[in-house]
Structure 1
Amino acid sequence: MAAAEPAPAPAASRPAWKDVSYGSAAGIVSKLFEHPLDLTKVRLQSQPLDRAARYSGPWDCIVQTYRNEGVKAFWRGVSMPVAGAMAENATLFVVYNQTQALLQHLYPPSHPSTPSNPAPLSIWQTATAAAVAGAAVSFVLTPVELVKCKMQVSNIAAEGFAASRAAHAVAGAAHAPATRAIPSSFVRPTPAPMPGAISVTRSILREYGVRGLWLGQTGTLIRETGGDAAWFTTFELVSRWFIERRVARGEVSPKDGGRVTKGDLSAFELMTAGAGAGIMYNVVLFPADCIKSTIQTEDELRGKGEVKGPRRGFVQVGRDIYSARGIRGLYNGCGITALRAAPSSALIFYIYSRLEAAFG
């Protein structure tokens, strides 16, 4: 995800494929970078509420994952986010830029726009365009995140099933004749291979149909609408602050001698603005993301063989998390998410802005 130049003409006239290409390149790099921390966040959020917490915090989750599953486990489920990056960014940037163009058509800027001094959108226009783009992209993201989250907690589900079978075996042994031996393969079953993205997707379609791919849509919609508004707006505000600081020092654009633009900002300035935007995106509506992760992994963590009751809604899950673990439960994983978001978002904005400056 990344913000485009706020000039109406470039945003409206730039081919959509450029938005897709720039955003996808930035998105893929960031997904590969952030995925280990995202996996940690999902596992912290998805701990069953009816038993003691498996992880005491982010570091404990990282250590347990490494000890039990090795380094490769930190990229479990990464195929879906990477594959979905193009669809996500295509939707995000095309809708964002087209909404910008529409808003500037409906509400023309108070002073004329020139290539060297583009008229920026107002803050409310930026936030509105970002919220519309976020709402649209939520429908693309939900299936991707659903498969990703199910893959990321598959190890916990497998261990829970193995523990349940072992407990039944021990209980059976207590009532069995002394001469009867229980096969070791029954007490400690060999773990099944972790399912891949295609296998998980087929399982969802088989059990719930196409509609099942949008499980958790409410949480994603709330998070993306508010989060993207905060994300783009924060980046614009911080970028403008850096621009005004340069203008106050008497600097001009080295390209044409005109007013300084975002394309003239340094890597440090762009990445600072991007890092701040990433933190704001996640902190603003983090409970919605926590509830979404719980809903999307509930079937896996319930355990095989358990009777499935009526599926809980968004509000009910939120109440249950709060009742079981208080307000802290709704922010489980927030710290590591912010830690992940700052450099990841900085990379996205830096790569996107540099590609935009280089190729238009």
Structure 2
Amino acid sequence: MAAASSAEVKTQIPLAVPVTPSLPFQPRTAAMEAIEDIVYGSVAGVIGKYIEYPFDTVKVRLQSQPDHLPLRYKGPLDCFRQSIRADGFMGLYRGISAPLVGAALETSSLFFFERMGRDVVYLSGYCPKDQELPLPALWFTGAFSGAFTSLVLTPIELVKCKIQVPETEAGVVKAPLRPLPVIRDIFRHHGIMGFWHGQLGTLIREAGGCAAWFGAKETTSKLLRDMNERSAKTPVELEAMRAQALPLWQQAAAGATAGMSYNFLFFPADTVKSRMQTTPLGETAPPQRSFFQEGKALWRQAGLKGFYRGCGITVLRSAPSSAFIFTIYDGLKEYFPMR
């Protein structure tokens, strides 16, 4: 009886098992995705700028050699040599404070406006909301992003270029080495609209270049993904591949391809823009040229090759920089999603 009573008690009193209530899944809102674009894009942009900045300084100095004087630099290596001899290696980081802010604003703006471009495509009815955008649409969203980002970028690049290229010709006062004096001088001589001197060149470079930047990255990623999927031996393995991100080296390769495409395809517009933005300031300075006037002067000075001065080093430095930017941005979004 005692045993029976014990068994009966056990059946009547269930064991208490702690149960953790499952929280309902909350999809990310558009606001959280926008915050991700801004925060993670800023982090990726700052890291990429530290990698590429010395090469960017050399590129701007090669591009901005005056058309009324003999060429000062024979090429990228000679520019590196002369710059390090004159200012030391850290001189190649001259004026980096403004570009760091610019890199954070530029990269976050690129990813932010690219997402807006995707929303525009979906709203247009070109593609159903529950499907991935086809490659032509992704090239468009890149152009959309670059066009809007150019408005943010032109003032920052104007200050950067004037700091990067010291004015050492006879009769010309050397440019200030800090951003605030440069900003004051631009406003004093040309007013608020003076900060958008070179806007057309930036617009051409960013709209076309960012179409290539995002488009080449997505195109290369698709090719690599298709290549990986062809190696799958079973349907289960194929589904597992589709659910996973690309291997790290393939993500970097896609990012490097994007950077090289961005810089090469519209480099002439960037050259003209850099020449416009490195003209001296002051009462005795020559009048500012338009985009087409600057382009005509460069053609008379050096012909077609003058538009590609500094292109090789720019494409070279863009590969690791862009690879880092995309890898860091995609990695942060994958491993630290904001809810």
TM-score after normalising by structure 2: 0.85
* Residues 44 and 107 in structure 2, CA contact (< 8 A), matched pair in contact too: no
Q: Which among 326, 330, 333 is matched to residue 307 of structure 2?
A: 330
Q: What CA deviation, in whole Å up to 9, does each residue of 1:36-93 have, x standing for no partner?
A: 0000000000000111000000000000000111111010011111112332233222
After alignment, is 28-37 or 263-272 more displaced?
263-272
Give 3-state SS (helix, strand or coil) of 1:160's partner.
coil
- Which residue of 1 is the match for residue 145 of structure 2? 133
- Change in CA separation of 1:146 and 1:269 when aligned onto 2, cut-off 3 Å: same
Segments ≥4 residues shifted beyond 3 Å: 9-14, 191-194, 251-259, 304-307
1:40–1:325: structure 2 CA closer, same or farther, 3 Å change rule? same
Evaluate the alpha carbon distance shift between residue 29 and residue 58 of structure 1 in structure 2; reply closer, same or farther with a 3 A threshold.
same
**1:96 matched to 2:114:** yes
- In structure 2, the partner of 1:185 is none
CA deviation after TM superposition for structure 1 residue 276, in Å = 0.7
- Distance of 2:313 and 2:72 partners within structure 1: 17
Give the corresponding residue for 1:176: none
Per-residue deviation, 1:14: 4.5
The match for 1:210 is 192
Aligned AA for 1:308? Answer: P
Distance of 1:325 and 1:95 partners within structure 2: 37
Q: 1:249 — aligned with what?
A: 231
Structure with higher Rg: it is: 2
Q: Conserved in 1, the CA contact under 8 Å of 2:95 and 2:177?
A: no
Q: Closer, same or farther in 2 for the Cα pair 1:32/1:142, shift >3 Å?
A: same
Q: Is the 8 A contact 1:49 1:324 kept in 2?
A: yes
Whole-Å separation in 1 of the counterparts to 2:181 and 2:236: 53
Letter in 2 for 1:49: D
- 1:157-182, Cα deviation, whole Å (9 max, x unpaired): 1x323xx59xxxxxxxxxxxxxxxxx
Q: Could you tell me how far 1:359 is from its partner in structure 2?
A: 2.2
Looking at structure 1, the residues matched to 203 and 70 of structure 2 have their Cα atoms a distance apart, in angstroms, of 30
Shift of 1:104: 2.2
Quickly say closer, same or farther: Cα 1:51–1:100, change in 2 above 3 A.
same
Q: Secondary structure at the match of 1:312?
A: coil
When residues 308 and 192 of structure 1 are mapped into structure 2, their CA distance, relative to the original with a 3 A threshold, is: closer
Measured in 1, the distance between the counterparts of 2:236 and 2:38 equals 28
Question: Which AA in structure 2 matches 1:319?
Answer: K
Q: Does 1:31 align with 2:49?
A: yes
More deviation, 224-233/198-207:
198-207
Name the residue aligned to 1:276. Answer: 257
Alignment of 1:291-310 (within 5 A): 291-299=272-280, 306=284, 308-309=286-287
1: distance between equivalents of 2:202 and 2:145? Answer: 13
Change (3 A) 1:251 1:77: farther
Query: Would you say the 8 A contact 1:239–1:270 is kept in 2?
Result: yes
Is the Cα contact below 8 Å between 1:45 and 1:294 reproduced in 2? Answer: yes
Deviation at 1:256, TM superposition (A): 11
Q: Which amino acid aligns with 1:280?
A: S
Deviations, residues 15-55 of structure 1 (Å, cap 9, x unaligned): 31111111111000000110000000000000001110000
Query: For residue 348 of structure 1, what is the aligned residue in structure 2?
Result: 325
Indicate the RMSD between aligned Cα atoms, in angstroms.
2.6
1:16 to 3, 25, 34: 34
Q: Give the secondary structure class of the aligned counterpart of 2:169.
A: helix
Partner of 1:160: 169
Q: What are the superposed Cα offsets for residues 253-296 of structure 1, whole Å, 9 maximum, x if unpaired?
A: 999955525x5211110110111110100111100000000000
3-state DSSP class of the match of 1:18?
A: helix
> Displacement of 1:107 after TM fit?
2.8
User: Measured at CA, do residues 192 and 132 of structure 1 come closer, stay the same or move farther in structure 2, by a change above 3 Å?
Assistant: closer
Query: Is the 8 Å Cα contact of residues 54 and 92 (structure 2) preserved in structure 1?
Result: yes
Go from structure 1 to structure 2 and tell me whether the alpha carbon gap of 1:358 and 1:251 turns closer, same or farther (over 3 Å shift): farther
Matches of 2:235 and 2:58, distance apart in 1: 43
CA contact (8 A) 2:45 2:108 kept: no
> Which amino acid in structure 1 is aligned with residue 165 of structure 2?
V
Q: Give the TM-score of the pair, scaled to structure 1.
A: 0.80
The match for 2:157 among 136, 145, 154 is 145
The alpha carbon displacement at 1:124 in A equals 1.9
Larger RCO, structures 1/2 (Cα 8 Å, 6+ apart): 1
Structure 1 counterpart of 2:216, which letter? T
Report the residue type matching 1:94 in the other structure: F
Partner SS, residue 357 of structure 1: helix
Which deviates more from structure 2 when the two are superposed, residues 90-99 or residues 268-277? 90-99
1:339 is aligned to 2:320: no
Alpha-carbon contact 1:253-1:260 (below 8 Å) kept: no
The alpha carbon displacement at 1:109 in A equals 3.9
Matched residues, number = 311
Query: Which letter maps to 1:133?
Result: S
Contact 1:234 1:277 in 2 (8 A): yes
Name the structure 2 match of 1:229.
Answer: 211
Work out whether residues 251 and 260 of structure 1, in 8 Å CA contact, stay in contact via their aligned partners in 2.
no
